[in-house]
Amino acid sequence: MSYLKLNSLKKTYPNGVTAVKDIDLEIEKGEFVVILGPSGCGKTTTLRMLAGLEEVTNGSIILNGRDITHLPPRQRDISMIFQSYAVWPHMTVAENIAYPLKLRKMDKHTIHSKVQEVARICNILDYLNRYPAQLSGGQRQRVAVARALAVDSKLSLMDEPLSNLDAKLRTSVRTFLKEIHRNTGATTIFVTHDQAEAMALADRIVVMNEGKIEQVGSTREIYNQCGSLFTAQFMGTPPANIQKVSLISNQERLIANDKNAETQFSLDLGNQSAFPGIDRYIGEEIFLAIRPENINISEPKGINETSIEIVEPQGAYTILVTKVFGSEWKIMLEGDIDIRIGQKVSLIIDPGKIMLFDAQSKKRVNFS
């Protein structure tokens, strides 16, 4: 049996807006699961229903075999870390960490011991007598994490806890959270719209869109085996190059055309045998997606030929911008590439890295 199970969970507000639409999700004990999606997709609402801060319209929440759907927050044995730290300014760090333990009526010795333990884990022992105003944003977030750890809850919820930190601090706190999870094994659900955070932290990622779950999987599965067009568009920096094309077969080669393009560009996708079952899409429109790092270049060969319009050096890699089917495509190559604007090249694409999506359902077309 799964440690946490969401059954047909739904949230509809009094104004008729449905923020979460009958989602089903199972999470195992000790997992670090990240709910990822754009603003307004329902991820925070889902988290708030888990915490008991939002009433569930339909469905159920089962935690460790116990139905907690309608229990008040204090009876759920769940801790939550918010985006805004939510530490009390009039209390010292030690008092902030101790406060939920006092509410549970623990004795002073146990409280003192627990505060010392989690402060050591979170590397804030030297700050126990300070007030939040005397701490940096990263240190305050560590206090919030320490307070959540202190109560030994069955489930830890984190609602975009890094979004108020600057880029450098966000990276260091992210590493800290991963170390904490490795050391404690706490079952954790982390909400974010930042895919880099999701990919760095998650055992599994839950991609949400418009109140529904688009896909659940490991980082590798979500990135390389996108189940929907939305996931392919949302994951990746730069994102995948996506184009609606028509497929034709030419001497056992699979060719993508776009009749609406400003220039009559054709993209040779490789031997048709690399796409078993593609016959049903020949002559039909389909969405083609290729990640920038899965495109290479060579000297112009008269096939897949285009010219470079923009060069963006990034140090460890170089981003090239070109036109394909009249649209802007990006290519990401390792290293500092010596290439000129206006230089003609041919695109080299590995057929095994191409993603195709049904034009109607927007779901991945799988070949086997």
pLDDT at 122: 83
Q: Are 295 and 288 in contact (CB under 8 A)?
A: no
Structural domain span for residue 322? 241-358
Same domain, residue pair 166 and 260? no
Please check whether residue 365 lies inside any domain of the structure. Answer: no
Tokens at 330, concatenated: 């990006």
Closest CA to 288 of 312, 301, 304, 311: 304
pLDDT at 190: 94
Supply the CATH number for residue 335's domain: 2.40.50.140
Of 207, 234, 261, the residue at which a domain comes to its end is: 234
Cα of 75 vs its chain's centroid, Å: 30
Please check whether residue 368 lies inside any domain of the structure. Answer: no
Tokens at 285, concatenated: 């429109």
pLDDT digits (tens, 9 = 90+) for 126-155: 999 999 999 988 888 888 888 888 887 889
Closest CA to 201 of 27, 25, 32: 32
pLDDT digits (tens, 9 = 90+) for 27-41: 999 999 999 999 999
Going by C-beta distance under 8 Å and a sequence separation of 6 or more, which residues neighbour residue 168? none
Over the Cα atoms of the chain, what is R_g?
25
Q: Quote the CA–CA distance of 59 and 20 in Å, as a whole number.
A: 11
Q: Quote the CA–CA distance of 95 and 98 in Å, as a whole number.
A: 5
pLDDT at 94: 94
Please check whether residue 347 lies inside any domain of the structure. Answer: yes
Please check whether residue 366 lies inside any domain of the structure. Answer: no
Q: Quote the CA–CA distance of 116 and 269 in Å, as a whole number.
A: 60
Cα of 326 vs its chain's centroid, Å: 30
Same domain, residue pair 350 and 224? no
Same domain, residue pair 298 and 228? no
pTM: 0.86
Angle between the 137-150 and 167-184 helix axes, to the nearest 10 degrees? Answer: 20
Q: Name residue 142's amino acid.
A: R
Q: Quote the CA–CA distance of 313 and 310 in Å, as a whole number.
A: 10
pLDDT at 348: 92
Q: Quote the CA–CA distance of 292 and 302 in Å, as a whole number.
A: 21
Supply the CATH number for residue 42's domain: 3.40.50.300
Same domain, residue pair 170 and 273? no
215 sits in which H/E element: strand 212-217
Q: Quote the CA–CA distance of 24 and 77 in Å, as a whole number.
A: 21
Of 234, 268, 300, the residue at which a domain comes to its end is: 234
Averages of pLDDT over each 10 residues, the chain, 368 residues: 93 95 96 95 96 96 96 90 81 92 89 90 90 88 84 88 78 83 89 92 96 96 93 91 92 83 76 89 92 93 90 93 91 92 93 92 86
Q: Quote the CA–CA distance of 125 and 118 in Å, as a whole number.
A: 9
Same domain, residue pair 201 and 277? no
Please check whether residue 179 lies inside any domain of the structure. Answer: yes
Going by C-beta distance under 8 Å and a sequence separation of 6 or more, which residues neighbour residue 362? 228, 229, 230, 287
Task: Please count the structural domains in the chain.
Answer: 2
